[in-house]
Amino acid sequence: MVGVEDWIEKASDMTDTVPTFGYLERLEVSHSVDPDKWQGLRLEVVLRSGISADSLRTVVVFEGVHQLKIQDPDDCSVYMLQATSIEDRQLELARYEVREVEHGAMSFLCRSFTAHIEDR
């Protein structure tokens, strides 16, 4: 997986404009069952650029997720995830606050995240 900046650069190189990934395909939550390795939840979000089967897909993985709140998702709503650095708050377990800004569909704190675009 690549860093978020590289992901955005790759998306820019693929088309004249950066594709919008907002159609929620999958939302998966997991965590370690080993108490010594538990550092929060792992949240994987798969978003598509459109509703067709050949639309681009991006995978965003959030690690060390805390305070996860999820609303019941609408069928074909477009979701806009926004990650904001909160390092100035000096929280031990969280570096980012993530929110879905269009519908308030989800919010959480996380330690790190990565994103990549899957090839068709």
Mean pLDDT of 71-77: 70
pLDDT of residue 16: 41
Q: How many CB atoms lie within 10 A of CB 96?
A: 20
Of 23, 29, 28, whose CA–CA distance to 56 is shortest? 23
Per-domain residue ranges of the chain: 4-118
Say what the pTM is: 0.78
pLDDT of residue 7: 47
Mean pLDDT of 12-31: 70
* Residue 6: pLDDT over 70: no
What is the spatial distance between Cα 40 and Cα 114, in angstroms, rounded to a whole number? 16
* pLDDT per position as a tens digit, 40-52: 899 999 998 888 8
Kindly tell me the burial class for residue 4, based on how many C-beta atoms sit within 10 Å of its own C-beta (0-12, 13-18, 19 or more). middle
